[in-house]
Amino acid sequence: MSKSMQTWLDEYGESHQNKLNKAIHWFCVPQIVWTVMVFMYVIPIPEVMASVSPYLNFASLACVLTLLFYSRLSLSLTLGMTVFLFACYFSMLGFEALFPGFLLSFAILWFAFLWLLQFYGHKVEGKKPSFFKDLQFLMIGPAWLMSFIYLKIGLKY
């Protein structure tokens, strides 16, 4: 039997109780999503994909798969995550337009820095990151943050 979204969020939250660790996650998790999107975006695409649409690439495909994962758990959170992923995608394109040739190198350095912060947060917390238990928690982290936004504005997930 598969877990409910609330079960996933509760399990993720168990290792994210410390105030500093939570703050670090609020800073890092959205940007880690952005950097991973960059890594997917820079993978060369087959010509057949390029001929279909300039937006059809491995980053956009990863977004679709991510949203399918969320849709099994919560349609409401899927809508919020859709907005977030669109913002990540188009800010990535904006970064590339403003700083041509620097997207990947920036993303690599930023990704490493963000993960150092994340691991520091977990050291302070005294608990291992959730994804050591189950890699799917890497997908739950952004939804966990989104769930707090939903609670704050009174939306159900």
Domain count, the chain: 1
Q: 6 lies in a domain? A: no
Q: 87 lies in a domain? A: yes
Q: 47 lies in a domain? A: yes
Q: 110 lies in a domain? A: yes
Q: 46 lies in a domain? A: yes
Q: 17 lies in a domain? A: no
Q: 28 lies in a domain? A: no
- 102/29 Cα distance (integer angstroms): 21
Domain of 124, in residue numbers:
42-153
Report how far apart, in Å, the C-alpha atoms of 93 and of each of 41, 55, 71, 114 are.
10, 10, 25, 20
Q: 19 lies in a domain? A: no
User: For every one of its 157 residues, what pLDDT tens digit does the chain have, with 9 covering 90 and above?
Assistant: 588 999 999 999 999 999 999 999 999 999 999 999 999 999 999 999 889 998 999 999 999 999 999 999 999 999 999 999 999 999 999 999 999 999 999 999 999 999 999 999 999 999 888 887 778 889 999 999 999 999 999 999 8
